[in-house]
Amino acid sequence: MLGRFERYFPILDWGRRYRGETFVNDMVAAVIVTIMLIPQSLAYALLAGLPPEIGLYASILPLLVYAIFGSSRQLAVGPVAILSLMTAAAAGKIAAQGSAEYIQAALILALLSGLILLVMGLFRMGFLANFLSHPVVSAFITASGIIIAASQMKHILGVDAGGHNLFEIVVSLGEKLPETNLPTLYIGGASLIFLFWVRKQFKPLLKAIGLGEKAATIIARSGPVFAVITGILVVAGMGLDERGVKILGDVPQSLPAIGVPTFNADIWMQLLGSAALISLIGFVESVSVGQTLAAKNRARIDPNQELIGLGAASFSAGVSSGYPVTGGLARSAVNFDAGAETPAAGAYTAVGIALATVFLTPFLFFLPQAVLAATIIVAVLSLVDIPEVIKVWKYSKSDFAAMAATIFVTLFFGVELGVTTGVVLSLLLHLYNTSRPHFALVGQLPGTHHFRNVNRHSVVISDSVLTVRIDESLYFANARFLEDTVYCMLSNRPDMKHLILMCPAVNHIDASALESLESINHRLDDAGVLLHLSEVKGPVMDRLERAHFLEELTGEVFLNQYEAMLELDEECVKMAFSRTPKTTEPGTDPCPSLRHAGLEPANGGSR
């Protein structure tokens, strides 16, 4: 019984083994992550178009809740750049930034995304995230990083610019450039230079003066804290707020109010689609980070339990004046490097953020917004992965097409339409590619029991027995293509007496493909040709037997291709083992018209 509860409440598992040493390690990590998370939370709230305190609120209750339900030991939950951008895009359709309705929309997004994740987790639907292919996610993050960096340049320049896409943002910045506030530019520019330097050069410098790897890593990743403190001191000491430098101002010294946003069916339905996308993107990002950290400890996370943990965290953000949250890469890496051993480190971080919200916010009054913008720009530019785009271009043109479309649409038409375009295009390209699967005419390699593509190897083939290797599962999208291929062969091989479908790569045959196989069987029978199968996998055989297809099959089912050839054309097999086998040269297709049926070398590998 306890094991069943542990499945949904991982705290019952690691909690009973909690020790004093573990507490010390978790507490040290919590202190470090708290220091890092304060400026991050403020910055991401501003990026989402929300009051800065909402970023702090989103870093309190969600962390406590995730400690109870989350399966990752080191994942640090809270606001992240991508979800902040998506929140701003979704809430902006409902109301103007800064309005009470806009804030309500952000809370509703957190509630809805949390509920969606919880439902997916309870029904163990983590597999749905697989519909977001890696190229699409990478493209979306890259494009979002560029948009976020561009949108924050107005704070670096100290101008009132805006826009909903990259083109509008760039045009607006260009028009406002003459109005640049120089003190703001100096602060923002210096912060950018310092933060880029810290990211690349500070750690080697610390190690050079004798600090260990762990200490140097933690200090280097706390660079934004140094920038925040310096920015506050400079603005307060020189009175730069009176010279047009925008500052954070008053941040309420209070804990978040607990309550459910006002229910308005129209608004909730308008936000449902956006919440679903936020859920999927947040889940994919969080699970990727969690799996990476778990692998370093030779541990594992449960994706379905992560759905529950992240769903509960996001839902709790919605009822505690926050907005959608997920596991963040930067803070999770710091949490791991600082020695966190259990999710309790996140709970201690939540306590730290709560104390900072109550006691430290007055000290943030003079914090320049340019510094917060600089921390966002440096963080998101690390997400821009141009080498990955080049790699995908070289590897797969269809994946690159989905990637390029995602980047283009995200940059110029919005984040939601961008990721939707990538997912839809990926699925359409997958359907198109699998609707024209690679089939290979195969022959026997001389002196072996192996059979390979006639277009790539010198092989021995039979005049009366034709073997086609199917390199794809058969389903509704490619069933007709299989029929066309077989009928093409039938019309071009008058000497053919046997056709063998070699099925080592066929993992599934659906009802449409079964109907096509039945049609092929009858058509070949009318032409005096027997249909055989070889190397059929067990689960596929089970389904064929249940459908009674094997009872109507005119030929036989062979365990392997060599056994089939030995039974149907022994002389051909003897030829393959003779001293001077008569082979077909690579590329010499015995049936040229088969190229129109997908049997050309360009579609497949060396086999």
Query: Which H or E run includes 464?
Result: none
Confidence category of residue 125, pLDDT binned at 50, 70, 90: confident
CA distance 35 to 60: 14
Confidence category of residue 494, pLDDT binned at 50, 70, 90: confident
On whether both 92 and 237 belong to a single domain, the answer is yes
Confidence category of residue 601, pLDDT binned at 50, 70, 90: very low
On whether both 595 and 491 belong to a single domain, the answer is yes
Query: Domain for residue 308, yes or no?
Result: yes
Q: Model-level pTM?
A: 0.80
Q: What is the pLDDT of residue 591?
A: 46
Provide φ and ψ at 500, rounded to 5°.
Answer: -110, 125
Query: Domain for residue 411, yes or no?
Result: yes
On whether both 383 and 443 belong to a single domain, the answer is no
Query: Domain for residue 250, yes or no?
Result: no
Beta strand spans in 169-327 (E): 326-327
**In this structure, what CATH number is given to the domain that contains residue 567?**
3.30.750.24
On whether both 381 and 513 belong to a single domain, the answer is no
- Asked if pLDDT for residue 392 goes beyond 50, the answer is yes
Domain end among 400, 424, 448:
424
On whether both 117 and 265 belong to a single domain, the answer is yes
Q: What is the pLDDT of residue 597?
A: 38
On whether both 480 and 590 belong to a single domain, the answer is yes
In the chain, % of residues over pLDDT 90: 53
Q: What is the pLDDT of residue 499?
A: 95
Q: What is the pLDDT of residue 3?
A: 56
Q: What is the pLDDT of residue 2?
A: 52
Query: Domain for residue 430, yes or no?
Result: no
On whether both 66 and 154 belong to a single domain, the answer is yes
Q: Count other Cβ atoms within 10 Å, centred on residue 409.
A: 23
Burial of 285 (0-12, 13-18, 19+ CB in 10 A): buried
Query: Domain for residue 7, yes or no?
Result: no
Domain end among 404, 424, 444:
424
On whether both 417 and 482 belong to a single domain, the answer is no
Residue 457 belongs to what domain range? 436-603
Confidence category of residue 474, pLDDT binned at 50, 70, 90: very high
Side-chain half-sphere of 256: how many Cα atoms within 13 Å? Answer: 28
- Asked if pLDDT for residue 463 goes beyond 60, the answer is yes
On whether both 418 and 536 belong to a single domain, the answer is no
On whether both 33 and 177 belong to a single domain, the answer is yes
pLDDT digits (tens, 9 = 90+) for 70-93: 888 889 999 999 999 999 999 999
pLDDT digits (tens, 9 = 90+) for 519-568: 999 999 999 999 999 999 999 999 999 988 999 999 999 999 999 999 99
pLDDT digits (tens, 9 = 90+) for 231-282: 999 999 999 999 999 999 898 988 999 998 888 899 999 999 999 999 989 9
Query: Domain for residue 320, yes or no?
Result: yes
Q: What is the pLDDT of residue 587?
A: 61
Query: Domain for residue 62, yes or no?
Result: yes
Query: Domain for residue 512, yes or no?
Result: yes
On whether both 166 and 293 belong to a single domain, the answer is yes
CA distance 375 to 382: 11
Q: Which residues lie closer than 8 Å to 325 by C-beta, 6 or more apart?
A: 58, 59, 62, 77, 78, 79, 80, 83, 110, 282, 310, 313, 314, 317
Q: What is the pLDDT of residue 288?
A: 83
On whether both 63 and 176 belong to a single domain, the answer is yes
Write the DSSP string, 86-148: HHHHHHTTTS-TTSHHHHHHHHHHHHHHHHHHHHHHHTT-GGGGGGS-HHHHHHHHHHHHHHH
- How many domains does one find in the chain? 2
Mean pLDDT of 309-323: 95
Domain end among 424, 449, 474:
424
pLDDT digits (tens, 9 = 90+) for 275-294: 999 998 999 888 888 887 88
**Identity of residue 147:** I
- The pair of structure tokens assigned to 596 is 């129109």
Confidence category of residue 358, pLDDT binned at 50, 70, 90: very high
